[in-house]
Amino acid sequence: MGNRRFHLLVLLFSDQMPMINGNSDGCDTVVDIYPLSSYFFGSKPAAAAAFKDESLADRVLRLKSNYNAYGMRTCVEAVILVELFKHPHLLLLQSKNCIYRLPGGRLRPGESDVNGLKRKLSSKLSADDDNYRTDWEVSECIGTWWKFDFETLPYPYLPSSGKTPKECTKLYLVKLPLNRDFIVPKNFKLLAVPMCQLHENCKTYGSIIAGIPQLLSRFSINMVFVSKHKLD
């Protein structure tokens, strides 16, 4: 997205927008989201592409070797929302091969979910300089997906077959403050994708990302608009 701030039409901070789920009755949590224009987007040197030329067969062999050494692979990924055109959007990373993914990645052995996700978000969405790193507010886990083979699609449940899962992916809601700098490696694009475009669109985004609108249906999404002077 380059080293620039997005300048969009910003409404005056007065009454908050109605929650898209109506009122908060029956909902577990109210999630405040802020305009995309209140964030700064920049870039940093490209991240090293691990296993860039790896074939599918080589990848399966690597995953099997890691499984034998460390056990089930656990990944944590962030669900980060912003407002654009009065509609909630999900932040996604897109690589040069046009694959969409949530920010996050694999945990290290013995690492907690929250600490691992914060580490991954800092490496993929923050400046490398420790003086400019900011903390991330990792909220609750909203979904868990499982893989039972090294090359199969993920499932949102554990089947009754008793088969041992090889990989677990957990989705965590990450809440943004009013202002934040997003610094992304140059070999990735950070995109804001409308929720209505994700819904059941497995062909484009995969089953995990396409299922996020359903996972968020129990929350009240409160779009907060701010005056321009609050962004400066």
DSSP 128-191: SSGGG----EEEEEEEEEEESSSSSPPBSS--TT-PPPSEEEEEEEEE--S--EEEEETTEEEE
Does residue 121 belong to any structural domain of this protein? yes
Does residue 194 belong to any structural domain of this protein? yes
Does residue 8 belong to any structural domain of this protein? no
Does residue 22 belong to any structural domain of this protein? no
User: What average pLDDT is seen over the chain?
Assistant: 83
Angle at 180 between CA 176 and CA 186, to 5 degrees: 110
Q: Higher-confidence residue: 82 or 25?
A: 82
Q: Which domain holds residue 200?
A: 59-230
Does residue 41 belong to any structural domain of this protein? no
Domain count, the chain: 1
Is residue 5 pLDDT above 50, yes or no?
Answer: no
Entry pTM: 0.84
Task: Give, in order, the Cα–Cα distances in Å from 168 to each of 105, 113, 145, 154, 192.
Answer: 11, 12, 6, 9, 25
- At 230 the pLDDT is 55
**Alpha-carbon gap, residue 135 to 8, rounded angstroms:** 26
Does residue 160 belong to any structural domain of this protein? yes
**Alpha-carbon gap, residue 226 to 12, rounded angstroms:** 6
- pLDDT tens for 95-113 read 877 889 999 999 999 999 9
Does residue 97 belong to any structural domain of this protein? yes
- At 227 the pLDDT is 66
- At 49 the pLDDT is 62
- pLDDT tens for 195-209 read 999 998 999 999 999
Does residue 105 belong to any structural domain of this protein? yes
- At 79 the pLDDT is 98
pLDDT band at 19 (very low <50, low <70, confident <90, very high): very low
- pLDDT tens for 148-198 read 888 778 999 886 777 789 999 999 999 999 999 999 999 999 999 999 999
Q: What is the CATH number of the domain that holds 221?
A: 3.90.79.10
Backbone dihedral angles phi then psi of residue 202, each to the nearest 5 degrees: -65, -30
Task: Give the torsion sign (CA, 123, 127, 132, 137).
Answer: negative
